[in-house]
Chains A and B, each alone.
Chain A
Amino acid sequence: MELSLTAKRLVLAAIGAVAAILSPALAPQAEARTLRFAFQGELKSVDPYQINESFSLSVNTAVYEGLVRRGPDMKIQPSLATSWELLDPLHWRFHLREGVKFHEGQDFTADDVVFSAQRVRGPGSDLKGRIPADAQVVKVDDHTIDFVLKTPNPLLINEWESWAIFSKKWSEEHGATEATAMNATTPPYAALHANGTGPFILISHEPGVKTVWKSNPAWWDKPRHNLDGVVFTPIANSATRVAALLSGEIDWMDPVPLNDQARVNANPDTQVLAGPEVRTIFLGMDQQRDELGHSSVKGKNPFKDIRVRKAFYQAVDEEAINKKVMRGQATPSALMIAPSIYSQSQDFKRLPFDPEAAKKLLAEAGYPDGFEVQMDCTNDRYVNDEQICQAVVGMLARVGVKVDLNAEPKSKFFAAISAAGGYDSSFYLLGWTPTTLESFNVFQYIMGCRDAKTNWGGNNVGDYCNPKVDELARQALQEPDESKRDNIFKQAWQISLFDDVGYIPLHQQALAWGVSKKTHVIQRPDNYYIFAWVTMD
């Protein structure tokens, strides 16, 4: 039926009205610069002490700051402390920055540092190691503070970027003086609310759904960023995350799966920011039990024989793994530490890939027909972890070792291989990032002979043990000069990885951040996400 002219005009007006109402929903936010960030995991809590997980620690540095921080070159810089000196090897003095305020207005003073030192070593905190338990924290005046240690520790401040400084007044006011008792029945205030000194202020946090921050105009430092706010969404499914980046709904995300990197780069509006990560991926073997828990060999442990360990090492073609499984993005490694944080890496070369030599070694060791063993591997933790393990299975099969691959989610994997699970693995793949960004950490947790009381060797699942190596590592800790320390470590690396073949290092994996071309971020090899360094066009 035909509409009269008036009717047509009315209809048009109605459409116009509806469009006007809906348009704010349709129009992009042209003025405000909001960074939309996505990651494959969730942000468990906005209280940095609650869990020692690198994602949570890194994102929370947007709100909470430490006495020091690291720059884009990974060197330690002053933050809430302007300078520090060693009055003697046991006595550190820090001079605190003046004129800094917390987001809710409280002044930052030495009292807050004393309180935070107490909170971080208190119940519920997962960061107790940030300050030695027997260290004393002494307030000298409102802007000077002393740390008195019982034993010298040149690495004291290495992890202090993530030791957040809390406001004493605010914490007491909201009952947040403890990070959280694990059996709490009321929700801890600090898990959903935050009050720090940092460049961003927390607006809201819906765990597992969305977290929103806005820029802090009163920040003490000159901002390198030009953001008004940040929105974080966890997107677990990789394909969806990549799609969100490609469609322009996300500005920055991590990780971009290896297989999708070409596509992200080919898209005119996005690109992949790839760079070396300090995480080393390696294979470990049970060298402690007299009979392996998951193998066909009865009455003895093949991994106690260095010839077997060496055979396994030489059976693995790391170049092929890097080329085909990691698409050339990894850095094959001779050591269990990244070259960027150990100055003498270039002096070490991997044992050559030689399956014939491997077969001979196995025969010499008494296994001419190989044997069977179970391999434990994650399928959701490291880059292409499952595929790396599958490739290793194939390579070992060709020298006669039949591997039963147990690829499982990280929750099950870590439950089994950790101390609580009884270090239950015969042969496994693991990754490690030394959070202090130097070698001692690796010798302390991964290479050290296990001692349940001190947690030395706490992550040494296979219990590779050589007291000489431990002695060298402890000796290095006493040495304040970094290059002299590295010399000592050189001997330790030589013994542990080449004389003993305690572990089989594979490679350092690569970081792959997906960014829209309008977003400019700075990548750190420890995979920290620093919002304060992001600019958007």
Chain B
Amino acid sequence: MIAFIIRRLFASIGVLIAVGLIAFVMFRYIGDPVNQMVGVETSAAERAQLREQLGLDEPVIVQALRFLLHAARLDFGMSYQFKQPVSSMIGARLPATLELAAVASILSLLAGIPLGVYTALRRDSALAKLFQALSLVGISLPTFLTGILLIYLFSVTLGWLPSFGRGEVVPIGSWWTTGLLTLSGLKSLIMPAITLALFQMTLIMRLVRAEMLEVLRADYIRFARARGLSERAVHFRHALKNTLVPVITVVGLQLGSIVAFSIITETVFAWPGMGQLFLQSVQNVDIPIMAAYLLFIAFLFVVINLVVDLLYVCVDPRLRASVRGAPG
């Protein structure tokens, strides 16, 4: 068991390094950061000087290694355009994105699981078919379009919800800020969270439905019914529990798409999170921020993966045996 964990740990570090190197090499070709740092009237000689100062004329390998070494100490350098330490910039934006992602995930679970259960149990009913159709509509439109439509409905026409920003935030501890404790913060969270959750929710709903349908056919369900258990007990105590494991796995693995879609959601709603920062940094060729962002996402992903795999091993006794006896 310990050996397994250690092996996975090494593999995870390998993944992080690979991501860092790939990202760094790619960034060289995105555009010229020096042009973004100075105005149009700055002379060519000054730009060359700047390039030298930033170490942009050194070989790529040297730059990449230097970057990785610093990254290990959580030092990502200074943003080219804002002249602020990248780690503090990302740190300031982190709570915004994490809160949004968390609320969106919870929303999608709260909506997706019950809907999935219902459409599985009442498979042939009209309402179930309606839910399925509606869920598809949600993912048939690009995210930016749904975001804008929501803004125009709820902010401009009805005036109920704010169209941009995070509202008032309350600092917690020395670093975190939360919008969950103020009314304006909560109101600001609603539309971005729904936009972000829509895709997830559909996915979860369909997954729960599919898994539930399979599980309901299983032998042990038939036996439970034969034993005379109530329908409710059958459905919830036995069927649902077993349905949830693959669902949780998928939700964890969907982190990549939540992150990707959060870039768009944050841009549409001017939500001050990491996604918006990343897009800005791509457009302004702010390499330190881009590199730090990618590494952070990789790290988050690797951690989640590790946790999920460990959970799998704990939950499924069949896997425990294979882990112990697995070849080196």
Q: Which of A99-107, A203-211, A222-230, A306-314 contacts B (4 or more CB under 8 A)?
A: A203-211
Total contacts A-B at CB 8 Å = 163
Q: Mark A213-254, 1 if CB is under 8 A from B, else 0.
A: 000000000000000000001111101110110111100000
In the complex, which residues of chain B have a beta carbon less than 8 angstroms from the beta carbon of A239? 148, 151, 268
Question: At the interface, yes or no: A192 with Cβ under 8 Å from chain B?
Answer: yes
Q: Which of B10-18, B48-56, B112-120, B207-215 contacts A (4 or more CB under 8 A)?
A: B48-56
Q: How far is A42 from B277 in the complex, measured between Cα atoms in Å? A: 11
Given contacts A45-B82, A411-B35, contact A419 B267 (CB under 8 A): no
Contact between A455 and B43 (Cβ–Cβ < 8 Å)? Answer: yes
Given contacts A236-B267, A419-B44, contact A411 B31 (CB under 8 A): yes
Contact between A247 and B163 (Cβ–Cβ < 8 Å)? Answer: yes
Q: Which of B59-67, B252-260, B279-287 contacts A (4 or more CB under 8 A)?
A: B279-287
Contact between A411 and B285 (Cβ–Cβ < 8 Å)? Answer: yes
Complex A-B: 23 CB contacts under 8 Å: A51-B38, A51-B39, A51-B81, A182-B50, A188-B83, A234-B270, A239-B151, A240-B164, A240-B268, A243-B156, A243-B164, A247-B156, A248-B159, A249-B155, A411-B36, A415-B285, A419-B43, A420-B44, A420-B48, A452-B43, A458-B43, A459-B40, A459-B41
Question: At the interface, yes or no: B125 with Cβ under 8 Å from chain A?
Answer: no
Question: At the interface, yes or no: B272 with Cβ under 8 Å from chain A?
Answer: yes
Q: How far is A459 from B22 in the complex, measured between Cα atoms in Å? A: 35
Question: At the interface, yes or no: B165 with Cβ under 8 Å from chain A?
Answer: yes
B-binding residues in A (CB < 8 A):
22, 25-26, 42, 44-45, 50-53, 126, 128-129, 180-188, 191-192, 206-210, 233-237, 239-241, 243-244, 246-249, 380, 409-412, 414-415, 418-421, 445, 452-453, 455, 458-459
Question: Contact size class for B?
Answer: 35 or more
> Which residue of B41, B159, B165, B277 is within 8 Å of A247 (Cβ)?
B159
Given contacts A52-B39, A234-B270, A455-B43, contact A191 B31 (CB under 8 A): no
Q: Mark B126-143, 1 if CB is under 8 A from A, else 0.
A: 000000000000000000
* Chain B: minimal CB distance from A341 (Å): 18
Q: Which of B84-92, B101-109, B221-229, B290-298 contacts A (4 or more CB under 8 A)?
A: B84-92
Q: How far is A181 from B36 in the complex, measured between Cα atoms in Å? A: 16
Contact between A240 and B32 (Cβ–Cβ < 8 Å)? Answer: no
Contact between B43 and A235 (Cβ–Cβ < 8 Å)? Answer: no
Q: How far is A529 from B39 in the complex, measured between Cα atoms in Å? A: 19
Q: How far is A26 from B156 in the complex, measured between Cα atoms in Å? A: 18
20 further interface pairs, Cβ-Cβ under 8 Å (given A42-B280, A240-B270): A182-B37, A182-B54, A187-B85, A208-B89, A209-B93, A235-B270, A236-B270, A236-B276, A240-B164, A240-B268, A243-B148, A243-B164, A411-B31, A411-B285, A412-B30, A414-B32, A420-B32, A420-B44, A452-B43, A453-B45
> Which residue of A42, A51, A243, A455 is within 8 Å of B44 (Cβ)?
A455
Contact between A420 and B164 (Cβ–Cβ < 8 Å)? Answer: no
In the complex, which residues of chain A have a beta carbon less than 8 angstroms from the beta carbon of B272? 206, 208-210
In the complex, which residues of chain B have a beta carbon less than 8 angstroms from the beta carbon of A128? 46
In the complex, which residues of chain A have a beta carbon less than 8 angstroms from the beta carbon of B283? 380, 409-411
Given contacts A236-B267, A237-B267, contact A420 B148 (CB under 8 A): no
In the complex, which residues of chain B have a beta carbon less than 8 angstroms from the beta carbon of A45? 82-83
Contact between A185 and B44 (Cβ–Cβ < 8 Å)? Answer: no
Question: At the interface, yes or no: B168 with Cβ under 8 Å from chain A?
Answer: yes
In the complex, which residues of chain B have a beta carbon less than 8 angstroms from the beta carbon of A458? 41, 43-44
> Which residue of B32, B165, B183 is within 8 Å of A26 (Cβ)?
B183
In the complex, which residues of chain B have a beta carbon less than 8 angstroms from the beta carbon of A206? 92, 272
Contact between B184 and A126 (Cβ–Cβ < 8 Å)? Answer: no
Question: At the interface, yes or no: B34 with Cβ under 8 Å from chain A?
Answer: yes
Find the B residue at minimum CB distance from A441.
Answer: B41
> Which residue of A25, A240, A414 is within 8 Å of B148 (Cβ)?
A240
> Which residue of B47, B78, B83 is within 8 Å of A420 (Cβ)?
B47
Given contacts A240-B164, A243-B151, contact A233 B270 (CB under 8 A): yes
* Chain B: minimal CB distance from A503 (Å): 16
